[in-house]
Structures are given as C-alpha cells and as structure tokens.
C-alpha cells in the first residue's frame, strides 16, 4: 500500500495541483531565483500559439474563424468582476422589497413563479433556491429514470409552457424531465420582473403583528444567506444574513431534509403551528388531489404547497408523478394574487385591507 501511494504521489507531482499541497520554500530561497512559469509540455503546444507579447489586445477584433483563428473580443478581468457584481448587488438592492417571495425553485416553485410573472408583470418576484441548480427533483423521473409522468389535467400546464409529451390516456409522458425543467426555468428567468437567487438558503421568516386583526403573527418576508455560509454555521447561522420584505411568501421547500420543509418546521419551532402531520406512505391515487386542493395560506402571509404541505398536513407521498407539483404551484400563484390584491401595502409591508374600488 505504501509503495502504491508513493508511486501515485510521484505521478501527481507533475500536475499544477501539486503546488497547492507542497510545503512552500523559505522566503530567502524564493527571492534567490525566479522560475519559469508553468506551461504545458512542448508536445501539447500548438505551433500557431503566440506569446502575449505578440498580441495587440487593445486592437484585437472578435473573429469567428473555425480554421484556427477564432478570436474573442478583448476583455480585462475587472470587466468580468464588475459586470457580475454590479448586477447582482443591484438585484439584491431592488429585491430587498418584493411583492412575492418564493422559497424553493423545484417544479412547484417554478410553476408558481411562471403563473405569477406572466399574470402580473408589474409585480417584483424573488425566488430563493438553496441548491446551485434549480429544479429540485424534477431533473429526472423516478429512480433516476429520465421520463416525467404527468397526470391529467395538469398536462394543460405543459401545453401552456410549451413542453411536448406523449398522450397515454389518463396521463402524459414528457420524454425527459429535464426538458420540462429547463423549459420552464428558461421562461421564468426571461421575465424581467423575476430574480432567482440560487445557492441562497432561507434561514428564517420575518414576523410582524398582523395589522388585519387575525391575532397571529404575520409572515412579512424571509431571511436569507448564501447556502455555503448557512451549512458552515448551522441552518440558522445568524452570520450576516440578508432580508427580503414581502407581503406574500410562497414556500415549496419540499419534504423533510437538510433544507426540506423549512418554513413549516420553523413555524413549529416558533409555536405558530401546533404540530406537523409528517408525510405519510405513498398513495398516488389520493396524494396529488390532496396537495393541490389544500395548497393555501397556512398562517397570515405564508402560502405553502408541494411536498412541504404533506409534512404539515400528513398527506401521502405521491412518488414519481409530477402533476400535483405543477398544479400546486399554479394554485399557490392564484392564491398569492388574491391575497396581494386584498392588502394595503407600504414598502412591502401589509398595513391594512385594500380600499374597495
């Protein structure tokens, strides 16, 4: 074993990565010599590659030439940094007060965002997704098999979004779940009134006394942090979190897990709900109807749907059929609009009922 590890280590020495694991030489030795920069072996160098001194970067023009002269437009590293940070920080600034926050960008959350953004382009919609890749479990079907099964009448939503399918009578089949996810994701992100903050976890819920006289605390927005910070310091890190104020929050955090069912578990921890029913065993026949029909405002200002609702209500698991997710998101959007239009709102906070027109 030791000999094999030694041989592996020797072969590893030739890689750039080995420089990161090798102890640094004393400073005096580094100052006494200047080594040539690391470069590929001569056998891998293309004869046409010029040194940096031979290229006039300022005057280089972009050229799409597939015969060895493809040239990108000139750029400096700080151009890239500023292009990203200026837009991201502006989005954070603009969306610090939103009209609707969606927690979770799985199939239900994305469906909710699509219906909201298309119906009301004047609304500012923020989506928080703890993962780097939005979509939740909707990149694949069941047991890593690619096809997506959607029971009717949720196929009408597929037609609305523009996802082709094969009709099997009482259900339809999308040839790959990623086709649905990528299609709806691209459409949601093209809406100018939507901002997706992925790799961003919901750490807590903002609460206020309810000015509408419910006697309950009202959910008035969310507390967020970059997911890596949240994981490094615990699910409630209190490590320089950001906030988004909004009169309506729609939560689709999925079934129980590291970030799953976050909102309902937080409500339980703060005494805003008495208990969680816990997701029951799989029953496709009943689960989807229940989830869609019971997608609702569970405490003032917070709508819950999708599999997170099953953790609250004790609904059955539905397995690898996705119609309930799509329809639950669409219903949540309709409920969000109904609530939003019933409020009088000041700087993202509910201050009373809307005046009758």
* Residue-wise pLDDT tens digits, 241-278: 899 999 999 999 998 876 688 999 999 999 999 999 99
pTM score of the predicted model: 0.83
Q: Using CB atoms within 10 A of its CB, is residue 345 exposed (0-12), middle (13-18) or buried (19+)?
A: middle
307 annotated binding-site participant: yes
Domains of the chain with CATH codes: 95-353 (3.50.50.60)
pLDDT for 36 equals 57
pLDDT tens digits, residue range 321-342? 999 999 999 999 999 999 999 9
279 annotated binding-site participant: no
Distance of alpha carbon 195 from its chain centroid, rounded? 10
79 annotated binding-site participant: no
137 annotated binding-site participant: yes
Please enumerate in sequence order all residues whose Cβ is within 8 A of that of 138, keeping only pairs 6 or more positions apart, or say none. Answer: 106, 107, 148, 177, 180, 181, 322, 325
218 annotated binding-site participant: no
Q: What count of other Cβ atoms lies within 10 Å of the Cβ of residue 36? A: 5
CA distances from 212 to 18, 217, 286, 338, 354 (A): 63, 10, 35, 15, 11
What is d(CA 244, CA 348) in angstroms, rounded to the nearest whole number?
A: 9
Strand order in the sheet with 248-251: 194-198, 125-129, 100-103, 248-251, 302-304, 296-299
318 annotated binding-site participant: yes
Contact 49, 43 (CB under 8 A): no
């Amino acid at each position: 074993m030791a000999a094999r590890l030694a041989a592996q280590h020797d072969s590893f020495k030739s890689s750039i990565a080995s420089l990161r694991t090798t102890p640094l030489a004393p400073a005096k030795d580094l100052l006494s010599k200047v080594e040539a920069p690391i470069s590929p072996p001569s056998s891998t160098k293309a004869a046409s590659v010029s040194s940096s001194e031979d290229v006039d970067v300022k005057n280089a023009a972009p050229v799409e030439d597939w015969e060895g002269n493809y040239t990108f437009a000139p750029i400096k590293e700080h151009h890239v940094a500023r292009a990203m940070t200026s837009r991201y920080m502006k989005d954070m600034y603009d969306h610090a007060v939103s009209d609707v926050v969606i927690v979770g960008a799985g199939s239900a959350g994305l469906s909710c965002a699509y219906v909201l953004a298309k119906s009301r382009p004047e609304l500012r919609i923020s989506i928080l997704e703890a993962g780097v890749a939005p979509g939740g479990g909707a990149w694949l079907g069941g047991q890593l098999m690619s096809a997506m099964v959607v029971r009717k009448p949720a196929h009408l939503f597929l037609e609305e979004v523009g996802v082709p399918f094969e009709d099997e009578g009482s259900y339809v089949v999308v040839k790959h779940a990623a086709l649905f996810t990528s299609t709806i994701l691209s459409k949601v992100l093209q809406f100018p009134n939507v901002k997706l903050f992925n790799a961003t976890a919901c750490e807590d819920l903002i609460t206020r006394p309810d000015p509408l006289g419910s006697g309950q605390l009202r959910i008035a927005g969310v507390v967020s942090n970059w997911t890596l910070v949240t994981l490094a310091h615990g699910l409630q890190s209190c490590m320089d979190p950001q906030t988004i104020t909004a009169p309506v929050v729609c939560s689709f955090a999925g079934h129980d897990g590291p970030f799953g069912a976050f909102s309902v578990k937080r409500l339980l921890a703060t005494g805003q709900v008495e208990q969680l029913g816990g997701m029951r065993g799989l029953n496709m026949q009943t689960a989807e109807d229940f989830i869609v029909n019971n997608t609702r405002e569970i405490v003032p200002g917070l709508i819950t749907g999708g599999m997170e609702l099953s953790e609250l209500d004790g609904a059955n698991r539905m397995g690898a059929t996705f119609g309930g997710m799509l329809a639950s998101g669409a219903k949540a959007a309709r409920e969000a609009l109904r609530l939003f239009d019933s409020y009088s709102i000041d700087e993202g906070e509910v201050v009373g009922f809307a005046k009758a027109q």
